[in-house]
Amino acid sequence: MNSRNEENLKDLFERFVGAEEAEGAVEDFQMAERILREHAAPEPDKELIAAIKSEITEAIRRRKESAFRRIAYKMAPVAAVFIILAAVSVRLFERGGGGPVKVTYASMIPAAIWESDDIAIDDLDLAILTAEIDELESEVVTLELGENGGNGRSAVTELEMELVEINSDFWEG
């Protein structure tokens, strides 16, 4: 060990123990280092290294095989679906390939509503919903302005809940 490393080691030990104990610890450290250098660890046997490498190679091969099987098992149903779809498509194409395609149109909304200038008045459900929303809006404005003299915050909350309920009913059908 060179003198610079010895000084650094001594400074390090002095941070934890006193100066005399630090010198003893440095000497003990140097003696342990010398013993380790004189008695090097034996290298493992070449047959042992070869056996370990063959076990690692076999484990990697098994892992790759199982990964391939997992992928194959996951892809098999997808491939089966594509094959079935292709077979059904070919049969349908063979059956219906001769004639022209006939398109049928249907209207879900009456023509009177489409042609109207005011859809809310022509559709009864929409007219009722619009009237309820307008009524709730006027009540909320009244309560927020404090014109009714009561506790407006709880009433506003109730009206907002009613408005949310009406809006959710509208979207449900």
Q: What is the pLDDT of residues 98-119, one digit of tens each?
A: 556 666 666 566 666 656 666 6
**Which token pair is 26?**
């440095």
Q: Does residue 148 have a pLDDT over 60?
A: no
- Please, which pLDDT band fits residue 54 given cuts at 50, 70 and 90? very high
User: DSSP state, 108?
Assistant: S
* Closest alpha carbon to 94 in 82, 86, 104: 86
Q: What is the pLDDT of residues 18-28, one digit of tens each?
A: 888 888 888 88
**pLDDT of the residue at 131:** 81
**pLDDT of the residue at 173:** 52
Residue with the two structure tokens 């349908």: 92
- What is the helix (H) or strand (E) element at residue 119, kind and residue range? helix 119-122
Q: Does residue 97 have a pLDDT over 60?
A: no
Q: Cα–Cα distance between 144 and 149 in angstroms, integer?
A: 11
Q: In angstroms, what CA-CA distances link 87 with 75, 81, 84, 96? A: 18, 10, 5, 14
Q: Cα–Cα distance between 126 and 171 in angstroms, integer?
A: 11
Is 167 or 59 the better-scoring residue by pLDDT?
59
For residue 18, the SS3 value is coil
Q: Indicate the pTM of the whole model.
A: 0.27
Residue with the two structure tokens 């049969």: 91
Average pLDDT over residues 62-67: 86
**pLDDT of the residue at 108:** 62
Sign of CA dihedral 131, 137, 142, 148: positive
**pLDDT of the residue at 55:** 92
